[in-house]
Homo-oligomer: A and B are copies of this chain.
């Protein structure tokens, strides 16, 4: 399995596509998480993502190892943005390429679920009403 893991200011779906698309794989599943302009009906101005980068990369690598143990996936991309992010901005991109689409869906969902549970990245929400959580 080829793996691309990256944490940086700005991420794009295109760089994930560029890495996973290949004539060997038939099915690619991509999850893109974007900043929403509301959380539970409250207007969001921006998010600020911080991360414990060395450990975050290590935890992402552990997720990749688990994926490899579970499924025959050819390529896996995990990208996470950090810093100030505004509504509509990309926060996370997960991309999986496989010969069989069923396992690509399963693996992609598994990765984003696990990333949200284990990878040390934190967001602060700046609401329009002035609160910061």
Q: Are A30 and B29 in contact (CB under 8 A)?
A: yes
* A64-109 CB contacts (< 8 Å) to partner B: 87-88, 99, 101-102, 104-105, 108-109
State whether the Cβ of A3 lies closer than 8 Å to any Cβ in chain B: no
Q: How many copies does the complex hold?
A: 2
Check A31 for interface membership: any CB of B closer than 8 A: yes
**A90 to B, closest residue via Cβ:** B21
Kindly state the separation between the CA atoms of A21 and B109 in the bound complex, as whole angstroms: 19
Whether, in the assembled complex, A34 has its beta carbon less than 8 Å from a beta carbon of chain B, the answer is yes
With A17-B32, A101-B33 already in contact, the answer to whether A23 and B87 are too (CB < 8 A) is yes
- Report A81 CB to chain B, min CB distance, Å: 14
Binding site for B on A (CB under 8 A): 13-14, 17, 21-38, 87-88, 99, 101-102, 104-105, 108-109, 112
**A30 touching B27, Cβ below 8 Å:** no
A-B contact pairs, 29 of them (CB 8 A): A13-B13, A13-B30, A23-B36, A23-B37, A23-B87, A24-B36, A24-B37, A25-B34, A25-B36, A26-B34, A26-B35, A26-B36, A27-B32, A27-B34, A28-B30, A28-B31, A29-B30, A29-B31, A29-B108, A30-B30, A30-B31, A30-B32, A31-B101, A31-B105, A33-B101, A36-B99, A102-B109, A105-B105, A105-B109
